[in-house]
Chain A
């Protein structure tokens, strides 16, 4: 692989990894509070549509990202209303939210733009090269000539780590995820914390979705999330619910996905569907190889308060 190809590969890795990183870091916070949000995919696709519509309505990709975040947040709040507020089963509720999200975004899209789906052109979220840093050989342009959402991801990793492990709020969040009864006895408002954590995760997933539409594909298509929300949940496990590790795991995934371009460039005559399937195969392999060494928050997926 020539140097040019390597740099392109690295750039693609980061570009593909960023939406995963954002969604996964958000979900990591959510799961640290004891809530598993299978509806993350719903937030993601809502963010993509929200980003697309927002960018078109306000004429700029920046507003699109904001709209995307709000859309993702809204979906997550519906999920939280059921799973945290009412205490319904988190897994099934999340699945329903994802279905609902995919269905509604499809319906809204078709209603606005017709069923035939001529591709939408959107204002794009252009890469913003960072001065000096972007000139570093090899890694510079890969890491620092990306869309602003990438920089958000880089900033969030240490920030969220600090929040979790160096602030009182983070301690309370972790306590809620490990043993909500004990947290309540200590005066922590368990449901409030879970609500916030879920909303935050949804907002980040919305940003990830907006990134997909505005920075990655440049358009919106039905079901364009393609399971990234689920992969993000797996990335959280691989990153041991620790934001910097989650970021790394997501970038690693991005690299694996970018690998397909490399393979294509090699001219290997591999079926197109294999490339499409690669991320999922990879996720399965990673889960098989890595789980068991990390421990989930003890109260994950448990409704609180417990019934009787």
Chain B
């Protein structure tokens, strides 16, 4: 077993930092992801790496984890400069990485996943399962990370999968543990449990690096904070010396309006005016998956003109089915569904479901228009009109592209999302369903999307907006009405519960639903 150096080595006698990254630069083609970033990690501290999406956090983590090589700059571990050639290399030097998108094989069991890549005494001929199982049980006892060792990953909920991912990293006893945005998929209670675990781990002498983009989380758990902006370190200070406004300014370079984006102060948001007539309704609706298991269980909901209905909840509780149902993309197995014939839908996976990378802007816009009588003439499509609409979308929604004939795949993530949002909102449809519409976007793009959604609801068109999001701050800040999706049921959130903790409580059973 590749036993990594014990925690003692990381906290070397001379008080050296566990990890020092200095002047790290990394490019991807024409894009500069890191332009001289610095990071210093000490043993016994929880260190938060903060920055908006696109600031360079994942790239820096990739370098620390051995997945990427820097173009310039130095990496020191335990005081000695190193060159990390692969994830295995990084692991052997004591870096344990917990990925954002779990590196787990769904069809295999937990034990098999833990054992993957390891060897027993007899090399590749035998399975190291027994030893791995024993080590896992011991680690579970020490950390309280409960996981069912013989279940397959596919059977586990998202929170459980993350626990497996963490366990996997801990099994090698790394003195340095780095977690990539772990809280995005957790319920508030699970976030608490995670933070407790992190504190426990640093007490044992480890260094923990937490990559985050939400300020309130950082303020809760970090001992030191480093802020990245556009590939550079703009701030590095102990917890005592910082506050929210300082962090915001370091992240974005100015004060911002959309606090929800930075995860600070989930304001209630200015409530809109009078709410109009119903636009869509679901009555005791049930949706099952192929195996017969219920995804939506007796869900009833009415959405009216001019209101923004927020649906909170972590992945796997049925939000996907709810969103698809409201947007008219799937049918219910039971119950009555009344939805408008035409509605806008911003799917959460924009590259797979929202856009066709090889199509240009015009053709992507056509995806929303081809059914519309105004854009077709019998069997033919009116391409001139569609192109005109594409131009309008590009201008009004600020899609940065050389022209409307550019391949959608060539656009940046933020611009792709502007395209999708613009396309779906442009016709001012009666109903817009937005699923995690700001995931992966930087603050500017996030603020833009929020603005457009709010404007659509409050403007003359007074569309109905259903915002389905795993980002609790976003939901709380934007919505007139909030509901929580938990295990296929929709639970309304009253004023008393309209806080992170309150919603978190409503997300119980306390345990994860199956993803």
Contacts and interface: CB of A to CB of B under 8 A. Distances in A.
A103 B107 CA distance: 40
B126 interface: yes
A306 B196 CA distance: 37
A172 B127 CA distance: 11
Contact of A187 (B87, B126, B128, B409): B87
A188 B124 contact: no
A174 interface: yes
Given A168-B126, A169-B124, A187-B91, A178 B117 contact: no
Interface string B86-127: 111001000000010011111110001101111110011111
A39 B235 CA distance: 57
A172 B120 CA distance: 14
A183 interface: yes
Contacts, number: 69
Given A178-B108, A183-B105, A187-B91, A172 B125 contact: no
Contacts of B107: 174, 178-179, 295, 297-298
A182 B99 CA distance: 10
Nearest to A176: B105
B117 A172 contact: yes
A166 interface: yes
A308 to B, nearest CB: 7
B115 A182 contact: no
Interface in B160-188: none
Interface string A157-168: 000000000111
A186 interface: yes
Contact of A167 (B104, B112, B125): B125
Interface residues of B, number: 28
B105 A168 contact: no
A168 B128 contact: yes
A166 B104 contact: no
Interface string A286-304: 0000000001011000000
A24 interface: no
Q: Is the interface of A mostly helix, strand, loop or mixed?
A: helix
Interface string B116-157: 111110011111100000000000000000000000000000
Contact of A185 (B103, B108, B124, B126): B103
A297 B127 CA distance: 20
A171 B127 contact: yes
B124 A175 contact: no
A181 B119 contact: no
Nearest to A162: B125
Contacts of B118: 168
Interface string A184-195: 111110000000
19 contacts: A167-B127, A168-B115, A168-B118, A168-B119, A168-B123, A168-B126, A171-B116, A171-B127, A174-B105, A175-B108, A178-B105, A179-B105, A179-B106, A182-B113, A183-B116, A185-B103, A186-B117, A188-B117, A308-B357
List 8 tightest A-B contacts by C-beta distance, closest first. Answer: A186-B117, A185-B103, A187-B117, A169-B124, A182-B103, A187-B88, A179-B105, A186-B116
Given A169-B125, A171-B108, 15 more contacts: A167-B124, A167-B125, A168-B120, A168-B125, A168-B127, A171-B112, A174-B105, A179-B107, A182-B113, A185-B87, A185-B99, A186-B116, A188-B117, A295-B107, A298-B106
Interface of B: 86-88, 91, 99, 102-108, 112-113, 115-120, 123-128, 357, 409
